[in-house]
Structure 1
């Protein structure tokens, strides 16, 4: 497996080097196949980017093109501590609804659209029956010529390297993509080495209880967190193909998970910044764990009996920093593993020009 992984990574690096050679010669147009299977062609160097996902905003910054971002969603504006340099950019919609006319106006210079603009969105996804993915975005921008649309997840360990490499080709940032992927692979391999050959704990990951104990939203095989947990050495209790299947608490009790992961959207209404503040959020986080421990039959669940119910800061689990989340999860699954997720996160934030927030909570209780 390790040999195959090394060969795969080497092949990727070689392809990046080949693409970089093309970039040095200034060759255009450039064409890639995005994560939706669509062919994406850019006719000239990209000077303007509109990011419709937080993951793509991170990726563009990682590649050194943050100053070319001209349009964002309101979710990026709301995360001001994470995206401080994007707070003055045009807002073109929410996380799932976009103003295509505004995007068209933003792309237009004079009476024409110069083909130096790229819009980045998700390859798939819908909310209340309405797509917020590339099919809807491409259709919404169809009246406007010369706007390239690319679809990437940028939040799954298995596909992130290919996606970042492709984005690097479109932006002429192959060298930057290669540098980040080498860093990412170093820390992925550290996790793989730490968990290799060990008995996998059965892990139950919960999104939210929602309407009650009979309809709990979880993470199935179609979710990015399923992939992350498996890569971190855990075995997901929920094996349904759907991304977010619903289960009953009674069902969970009968399966006796070794570890429970809770991923609340927030723990306090005035939350802001990277991680949780112990003085402000500590009691609220503990209460989340207490609520699970007080559920019917919880006292017989190994995870509860052994104090292995954890609240995890959701933002480190999804996105370009998913290797950080993987390192945190591996530390939870194997407390004796010699891993330092805080140091990995500090390195990642440094690449974004941000400082690691000392004293903040990202996993509670602290593993180990």
Structure 2
């Protein structure tokens, strides 16, 4: 009898504890979300900017920042984007709820004001053009976070992670990025200076073959990473135009790499092959070693110098050193990126 009473007493205690836990959960679920607080961040240009944290409404004026916000899982916070972002392969389909606010160089400030963003994120050129000052006079913070420069890429990704309160997701993306970069560095580390592949890297968007990059361009860092050298790296200037006569004197151009806009990328190789034909049939370019040996390659901008540049460098590494990367398929890594960070299957052809 005593045992029975004791067991009943235990059962009552257990039920009481369960009711307390359920009550606590209900109480917690009714708690109001945390009110945003004001924090000061240092942006990519070294400016101190006060913003609400966490932010709930953002406008991204660059396609790289737009894609990164999606990678970090905050596409629902994007209320406005630049015109070109909505037309990019893959990411455009994820921006159906975001308004377009014009070109990043000259955004529609009135439209931005109507969208009431917590912050606008863009290139440093927006400071030079006075866009930052105009936005801040309207009470809208502007943050420089570019995500397309070799030297500052990691810091920019971390900065975006902090702005959105997605530091862990930013670390996850950087882990993937570093895994690809480290593989490239490991496989090319023993290449001697005299073994570097001589590359002509065009900046003509598949339309102006004679536009390339000189000694002041950061593009040289990208090629150095894959054990290659920019054939125009000693020419003065950043983005420059070379003459056909100059091209004919460069009898050691081993590989030619050009790019097209991400808006042109399709599920077939056709857009890439069309640009390749320009080099193969041109009376000047056809005389280069690269064209004669069929080593002319084209890629989409997003992997050329965008958020996915580690994948672009993997394409370049394989094109420059096929013997060192004969077992590597860049599309496999591109596919992994798409699935893991964009939740999509890779359907388009980005390199040829």
TM-score by length of 1: 0.76
Richer in helix (by share): 2
Aligned to 2:345, which of 348, 352, 355? 355
Alignment of 1:280-291 (within 5 A): 280-281=270-271, 284-291=274-281
Mapped pair 1:310 → 2:306: no
The Cα shift of 1:353 comes to: 1.5
| Structure 2 residue ranges without an equivalent (≥5) | 1-33
Cα offsets for 1:296-324 (capped at 9, x unmatched):
7x42x322333222222333112211111
Change (3 A) 1:329 1:180: same
The Cα shift of 1:208 comes to: 2.6
Structure-2 residue corresponding to 1:33: 42
Whichever of the two has the greater Rg, that structure is 2
The Cα shift of 1:259 comes to: 1.4
Aligned to 2:142, which of 121, 143, 149? 149
**What secondary structure, in the 3-state scheme, does the structure 2 residue paired with 1:208 have?**
coil
Kept after mapping to 2: 8 A contact 1:31/1:170? no
Cα offsets for 1:315-363 (capped at 9, x unmatched):
3112211111010010111012233211111111111122111xx5333
Structure-2 residue corresponding to 1:246: 241
The Cα shift of 1:28 comes to: 4.5
How far apart, in 1, do the equivalents of 2:205 and 2:156 lie? 33
Kept after mapping to 1: 8 A contact 2:200/2:230? yes
How far apart, in 2, do the equivalents of 1:346 and 1:28 lie? 38
Structure-2 residue corresponding to 1:123: 124
Deviation larger for 165-174 or 324-333 = 165-174
Aligned-pair Cα RMSD in Å: 2.7
Aligned to 1:106, which of 108, 112, 115? 115
Alignment of 1:38-49 (within 5 A): 38-49=47-58
The Cα shift of 1:283 comes to: 5.7
How far apart, in 1, do the equivalents of 2:168 and 2:137 lie? 35
TM-score by length of 2: 0.80
The Cα shift of 1:179 comes to: 1.2
Change (3 A) 1:276 1:291: farther
| Structure 1 residue ranges without an equivalent (≥5) | 1-24, 108-115, 125-131
Change (3 A) 1:35 1:242: farther
